[in-house]
Amino acid sequence: MTWPMDPARRHGLGRLGAFAAIALGPALTPARGWAATLAQTADGPVGSSGDSSGDGTLLRRLRFDIQCHNPTGSPLAAQPLWAYGPASRTGHQSLVEASSSWPMTHGTDALGNTVLHWQTPPLPPHGLRAIRLDVAVRMARQPAPQAVEPGAWLQAERHIERDDPAIVALAAELRQAHPRDARARVEAIYTWVRTHLNYAGYLPNDLGASHALRERSGDCTEYAYLVVALCRALGLPARALGGFVVDQDDAPASVAYHNWAEVHVDGAWRLVDAQKEALFDGGERYVALRLIRDQALGPMGLAHRFVTDGPAQIRWR
């Protein structure tokens, strides 16, 4: 099975919102063993603010619109569509509910990513149909303690080149001032990336940590990859995530999709976002849709946002 280049990688869309379809070879089958549920939602407002409980958490509600377009002059039958929803559980979030205006099933992959599945509506010639997705996530101001498996989130990956000699040398330099304090080493990495990289605006391709260090430039993805690579070079488990940064219930635009890093220190996964200048605090604002690993897992493969099999074009708004 081949996975063609996603023309807008993180957004899963065409250039900032144009229609795009990611064509696949043979049809995919959702992973067995998923606890699939079918849900539909009633009309109603998303709301303007999260409900606060007495345990330091917020209930955050998000809404997304998925447009299915028939670019041909012939009717189109339903086709499979898979997409990431909010991750089932991270240090700061747990998925409470996901419901759709069109029949949907969902499950989780090996990393805890939520994978949503639809058979899209049949489309008349040049027709357009919309699917509305509503989700609710419980967001915690302080990260929940979580163990990490030995050796997990430490290896080199495509775009996270922790073994690059330049990255190893910089990591060793940053470690010298804080040889025993993991939290202080993370702060040093955060400060270096924040102050030495220039934000390049949205870039259409993943360029990686080595590129970011060499060019001293990148978008939010390269900031995250470089933080992760430097942490891993020092033996600190770290990972990149993708999703949205929100301050209230929202219907976030696809162009607001963002990447950041988490590092496992003091027994929990903690926020490190050198591009938006957030360190350790503020994780309740970061709704993760994907824990990023360069490994094809389940029907999503290596797609960033969604994958479909058929001629209909999908636009995630």
User: What is the pLDDT at residue 157?
Assistant: 96
User: What is the pLDDT at residue 314?
Assistant: 95
User: What is the pLDDT at residue 185?
Assistant: 97
Please tell me the number of Cα atoms within 13 Å of 76 on its side-chain side. Answer: 23
Q: Where is average pLDDT lowest: 26-35, 73-82, 287-296?
A: 26-35
pLDDT band at 287 (very low <50, low <70, confident <90, very high): very high
For the segment(s) 165-292, the CATH number from 3.40.50.2300, 3.10.620.30, 1.10.730.10, 3.40.190.10 is 3.10.620.30
User: What is the pLDDT at residue 297?
Assistant: 82
pLDDT band at 53 (very low <50, low <70, confident <90, very high): low
Strand (E) or helix (H) holding 272: strand 268-273
Strand (E) or helix (H) holding 287: strand 286-292
Task: State mean pLDDT over 249-259.
Answer: 94
pLDDT band at 264 (very low <50, low <70, confident <90, very high): very high
Task: State mean pLDDT over 108-118.
Answer: 94
Residue predicted with more confidence, 292 or 35: 292
Q: Going by C-beta distance under 8 Å and a sequence separation of 6 or more, which residues neighbour residue 185?
A: 174, 175, 178, 234, 236
**Are residues 305 and 311 in contact, defined by beta-carbon separation less than 8 angstroms?**
no
Burial bucket for residue 29 (CB in 10 Å: 0-12, 13-18, 19+): exposed
User: What is the pLDDT at residue 316?
Assistant: 87
Question: Does 30 have pLDDT greater than 70?
Answer: no
Maximum Cα–Cα distance for the chain, whole Å? Answer: 66
Query: Do strands 198-199 and 217-218 pair parallel, antiparallel, or not at all (unpaired)?
Result: parallel
pTM of the model: 0.84
What is the Cα Rg of the chain in Å?
Answer: 20
Question: Does 113 have pLDDT greater than 70?
Answer: yes
Q: pLDDT digits over 135-167, tens only?
A: 999 999 999 999 998 889 999 999 999 999 999
Question: Does 132 have pLDDT greater than 80?
Answer: yes
Sign of CA dihedral 144, 139, 184, 197: positive
* Cα–Cα distance, 145 to 297 (Å, whole number): 26
Q: pLDDT digits over 1-28, tens only?
A: 222 323 333 334 322 333 333 333 223 3
The H-assigned helical ranges of 61-112 are none
User: What is the pLDDT at residue 177?
Assistant: 85
Question: Does 180 have pLDDT greater than 70?
Answer: yes
Instruction: State percent of the chain over pLDDT 70.
Output: 83
**Residue ranges of domains in the chain:** 15-142+297-316, 165-292
Write the CA distances from 245 to 3, 187, 253, 288, integer angstroms: 28, 21, 11, 9
